[in-house]
Structure 1
């Protein structure tokens, strides 16, 4: 009987495998996988044996980097000086056929719960104020110290870490993990609570189950995803944004039941909403269940079915916990993932956790590691022939465009938190949102054409209106300065030649021309198009500025002994990549 079942399974899987399909491994940074060139070579050999077409590699674990980062310290368990990401990309893309490289970044966890990082470059030493807290004021979560998405600086820092990877490395995708909170008792960073109270006229600490407070924290997580997605589309439109997503417990029956699931109600990760908005290209829920347990097998089936029927034109991929399952049960879960739902919908592929832990007995500690037979089994029975990953038509043949921008106060370039941004077409308001804690907003996947944008903010002058043209496949930036300023707003740097020393000037947007990695290094800015440049001496520099950043600058005009002009006593605000 078992032999006959295997023959049927093998035949069915071979037919399904003939079409484009995402086939990947999660490759974590704690175990062997990419710490040395030899580990990378072994990884790619096994991936080829299994006829896989992608790897999702954990390049950020807890505020560290397995690549060369200007923002975070080098991982201590990495071969010193070895840029794992650069080497992996070169080798994987050089294979025939090539293997996609998706960079996995842990978002929330930044340090284990014991001790404290020694490296001054670590985010906890740079910005200890961004830590999350629970209702009781404790800071060590179940995964250690974590960033609180309600603190604008956490938003700003992580966004720049993520976009730096996309800009400097030829990656195929960026993959979020822990893009959430750890539970409804967390998210009580004092700055986040103060912002919430100011927005809604409250005082004190809200209860963990307060619906408005839960939605607030949900919005803070979504804001990060939206900000990275829009800026990534501006840098490299083909880069795929994906995430490892929560599926604790049984799967939802429908969209009404979705709000009762842990992802939405406990850790504030509205990944169904991200797919619907279009700020996530590929959803990979971590459907880690032991197929030998009938209840858990039902959980797996229900989550896979929900994902098949709720992709919203994007890609759903089943995250299979092979580390919990026997080889046979992993193959069975692949077949379940490949089968159509009762409504006739299919997923776009499968991804395995993990490359290191290849099979198990249903428990966290029972996993077997690096079994060569497992990689061979996948290549012989699950994936007997190599196929490419499915194309993302909205990226390869875009028919829509994106709009994003930042709203700042003109007097000091501080972020305007909670400004209302309205989007109109043909006189009808079609979308509306509030800026996040960094003044950022984005409307994605807009039909091409002419739009009007209205911005208003409490305590600042009346609404401003601008017109913008949306073009298919392009991201358009529209930044705003609200309120009065004692500085002279200028569009062009050459206008500085006619002004006397001591004039306070405001410039936006300008292009950063140099990497400034230390506070004593001056910032060089230039026009978005043009040859004029200007040196800027900043009052302080919290983070490095990187070439091709876009900034707003406010400073005092000065003439140097050689006759050239510069700005001193200046402040700068990051606007994004456009």
Structure 2
């Protein structure tokens, strides 16, 4: 605590003390506070463009979100359950939902774009035939929740989907000719992100959602990418040869080859954002990738460039760890600090599955660790918040109420 001194300001003391004080103050300003360690600005080695100096982030409402997956379809298709779910999320001071709209080569809304490609033999409808997404948006907005539809599968699609069967020329492949890889969704094929018809299809779907529904934006996750083993299809080989005058390297981890493909995906994201903003100027572009080392090195997803180039308006980094220390280590990565300076940033937290339940204590510890570092949170996924859990629903809900005792309203104006 400061100590107050009483000083008689006689002329001879002024003549001595004031100059000494000014000299001391000037010395401190030049050298720093004695005994205080100098703080280094975190740096990250990345092949992305050089980052400009930025000001500290403005105070923003923290992200308190939850994904609604296909596992939550029983909730989303029932009007009463949707109303109860949104009321509960609003009461517990959540502020954002991410309902799935693109999964396994299909959309969860009535899509003329999908039907034109012959990939939607059925339409997801509610229990009384209503439009699921329209109802979710309406009920969420009544509770002050932002709605950012989740384009979950990105460039990924099952090889047996109508999309893959009807458009084999849209698929890319590995050097050995394989067209599939193993993912969290099982064995999947990959749409070629460099093919103009694929880009147009994805863009048309996204713009369609922004046009048909009163949504606040859209979210792309870790599948808006390409495993680095892919890109050896004839179209991409020819494109690379034309642009670089070189053959595609045999090594999928070749740095120049990786950089070329990552830049192509980034360039497409620039175009995609423009298409969205042309339709809805205030739309939020949210991204939810894996941590950067994995995202870029193994999936060519240079999301730091997406942040630096202003493509993304929100970042949720998936950190699905059960060990708290391992979880915290990911939160302190330099790229998280880079993003936090520019956009609302949060951490994706795993809240469990039927076969892999997670305690409310683990959820609270991880949430608090994120919030202590100025980060928001998004939970994967709704059903496991309290409907399928190792503790009673009322106990889990009380746990979330303790985390968020006060509201944090967000605006769709970013």
Report the TM range for the smaller structure's normalisation: 0.7 to 0.9
* Per-residue CA distance 1:31-50 (angstroms, 9 max, x = gap): 33313323422321331242
Specify the alignment match of 1:37 in structure 2: 79
| Match in the other structure for 1:353 | 380
Q: Which has the higher contact order (CA 8 A, sep 6+)?
A: 2
- Of the three residues 385, 389, 404, the one matched with 1:368 is 389
The correspondence of residues 390-401 of structure 1 with structure 2, limited to 5 A, is 391=411, 395=413
The residue aligned with 1:146 is 190
Work out whether residues 65 and 74 of structure 1, in 8 Å CA contact, stay in contact via their aligned partners in 2: no
2:346 equivalent in structure 1 = 317
Give the secondary-structure state (helix, strand or coil) at the position aligned to 2:378: strand
Are the aligned partners of 1:26 and 1:56 in contact in 2 as well (CA < 8 Å)? yes
Change over 3 Å in CA distance of 1:318–1:374 after alignment to 2: farther
Inter-partner Cα distance in structure 2 for 1:378 and 1:21: 18
Equivalent position SS for 1:194: helix
Residues 358 and 370 in structure 1, CA contact (< 8 A), matched pair in contact too: no
Cα separation, partners in 2 of 1:36 and 1:131, compared to 1, 3 Å:
farther
Q: Residue 299 of structure 1: SS of its match in structure 2?
A: helix
Cα contact 1:49–1:376 (8 A) shared by 2: no
Q: CA deviation at 1:357?
A: 2.4
1:84 aligns with 2:113: no
> Structure 1 residue aligned with 2:406, among 361, 375, 385?
385
**1:369 to partner: Cα distance:** 7.9
Q: What's the counterpart of residue 247 of structure 2?
A: 203
TM normalised by structure 1 equals: 0.54
Tell me how far apart the structure 2 counterparts of residues 204 and 221 of structure 1 sit (CA, whole Å). Answer: 17
Aligned partners of 1:22, 1:381: CA distance in 2, in Å?
16
Correspondence list, 1:143-542, <5 A: 143=183, 144-203=188-247, 206-247=250-291, 261-292=293-324, 294=325, 296-303=326-333, 306-323=335-352, 325-340=358-373, 346-347=374-375, 349-358=376-385, 368=389, 372-373=393-394, 376-389=397-410, 391=411, 395=413
Measure, in 2, the Cα distance between the counterparts of 1:75 and 1:284. Answer: 32
Q: How far does residue 220 in structure 1 lie from its aligned partner after superposition?
A: 2.4
Q: Secondary structure at the match of 1:310?
A: helix
Q: Give the CA deviation at 1:59.
A: 1.2
TM-score normalised over the length of structure 2: 0.74
Within 2, Cα distance between the matches of 1:326 and 1:369? 6
Residues 217, 268 of structure 1: 8 Å contact kept: yes
The secondary structure found in structure 2 opposite 1:319 is strand
| 1:393-418 deviation per Cα after TM superposition (whole angstroms, max 9, x unaligned) | xx56xxxxxxxxxxxxxxxxxxxxxx
Deviation at 1:125, TM superposition (A): 4.1
Report the Cα offset of residue 370 of structure 1: 9.8
Structure 1 unmatched runs, 5+:
1-17, 248-257, 341-345, 361-366, 397-578
Equivalent pair of 1:68/1:74 in contact (CA under 8 Å):
no
Question: Aligned with 1:266: secondary structure?
Answer: helix
Shift of 1:382: 0.4
Whole-angstrom distance in 2 between the partners of 1:186 and 1:224? 17
In structure 2, relative to structure 1, the CA distance for the partners of 1:369 and 1:70 (3 Å cut) is farther
Whether the 8 Å contact between 1:358 and 1:369 is mirrored in structure 2 is no
What is the RMSD of the two structures over their aligned residues, measured on CA atoms?
2.8
Which has a greater percent of helix?
Answer: 2
Cα distance in 2 for partners of 1:164, 1:219 equals 26
Matched residues in 1 for 2:311 and 2:405: separation? 33
Query: Separation in 2 of the partners of 1:87 and 1:178?
Result: 27
Q: CA deviation at 1:159?
A: 0.9
Q: Which has the higher strand share?
A: 1
